[in-house]
Amino acid sequence: MDTAPALLLLLTLGFCEYRHRATPDIKVRSPKDITQLRVGQRLELECQTGRDSGAFWIHQDKSGTLHFIVFINSMSRATFEGNERTSPRFEASKHDKIYRLVVKSFTPRDEGKYFCVMNLNQMLFFSPGQPAFLPVITTVAPTTSGTTPKRGITESPNNQTAHPETRTEEKLNFFCHIFIWIPLAAACLLLLIALLITIVLCQRKAHHNPLQMH
């Protein structure tokens, strides 16, 4: 018969009296820095007690629900959920009066608080909860305070606005070209017309002269 639900119920009832039964004799710590946990990282916890009578490890998730993980007896035998000797997610061991728990690969489902619980004289004693959370990732919103030119990019001279004096000079040059080339073109056109008229008159004169000789 699976004893995990019964143990979990017992631990839950005991947790309701946590504030009244907490004892400083049970301390939970991590031998490594867990303030910046990462997904896939090993989480190692140690429960230091002054007794050699076995200990429970339970996990309180972010919603406040308690989850039984393992019971380690005084002979260092670990019993995981489902009355299993091993767990794909956890490792448990005992050395002297220190009960160790290892989360093999930390994931978001493992976030929360971890408690070490002892049953002494038919009373449950809870350690202070050891928090274990992944860092909160904050997203910075892009600013919209005007357009800032990108560094390291040189703008093409063609895209730059011309100086007012330069634009005025270009306009004057344009009008000067008009006043010079239009009269010159007109004079050339008149010379061409005069030349054509002269050629036509000469041809007519040459055409009439033979008739006058006869």
pLDDT tens-digit readout, 33-56:
999 899 999 999 999 988 888 999
Phi, psi of 119 (to 5 degrees): -105, 105
CA dist list (Å): 195 to 57, 184, 212: 117, 16, 26
- Single out the residue of 25, 87, 21, 97 nearest to residue 59, CA to CA: 87
pLDDT in tens, 115-146: 999 988 888 899 999 999 999 887 776 766 55
With pLDDT > 70 as the criterion, what percentage of the chain qualifies?
63
pTM for the model stands at 0.59
The β-bridge relationship of strands 90-95 and 27-29 is unpaired
Asked if residue 200 has pLDDT above 70, the reply is yes
Burial 159-181 (b: 16+ CB within 10 A, else e): eeeeeeeeeeeeeeeeeeeeeee
Asked if residue 20 has pLDDT above 50, the reply is no
CA dist list (Å): 13 to 68, 123, 124, 155, 195: 13, 11, 9, 72, 123
Runs of H (alpha helix) within the chain: 4-16, 18-21, 164-213
Asked if residue 155 has pLDDT above 60, the reply is no
The mean per-residue pLDDT over the stretch 20-33 comes to 76
> 148 or 199, which is more confident?
199
